[in-house]
Amino acid sequence: MVALTTAEVARLAALARIELSADELARLAPQLDVILDAVAQVTEVAGDDVPPMSHALPLTNVFRADEVRPSLPVEQVLAGAPSVEDERFRVPRILGEEQ
């Protein structure tokens, strides 16, 4: 496997919108190589007879039943919000941003 360059790590950071210094890029490149090597080893071991899974142990639903219950009045909830519009939290628009 070819080692990641600092330029490749910088590109990944830019895609993730993470600012990294030159020192951080130099330190992270070898660490990411170790992670990628570990993932490559797992894919080598997993054969056609091994089913893909997201967890080693089976999971069961631990969520409570959905029940309608009284809650705080809208005015009280929005009182601590930095910005409110049409009785809702106002947040910055993220859809349609230029990349």
pLDDT bin (cut points 50, 70, 90) of residue 1 is low
Please check the confidence at residue 98 and state whether its pLDDT lies above 70.
Answer: no
Beta strand residue intervals within the chain, DSSP E: 84-85, 88-89
Query: Counting every residue, how long is the chain?
Result: 99
Structural domain spans, the chain: 6-45
Please check the confidence at residue 33 and state whether its pLDDT lies above 80.
Answer: yes
Average pLDDT in the chain: 86
Write down the pLDDT at residue 24: 94
Please check the confidence at residue 81 and state whether its pLDDT lies above 60.
Answer: yes
Write down the pLDDT at residue 63: 85
pTM of the model: 0.44
Residue written as tokens 């020192």? 23
Write down the pLDDT at residue 99: 55
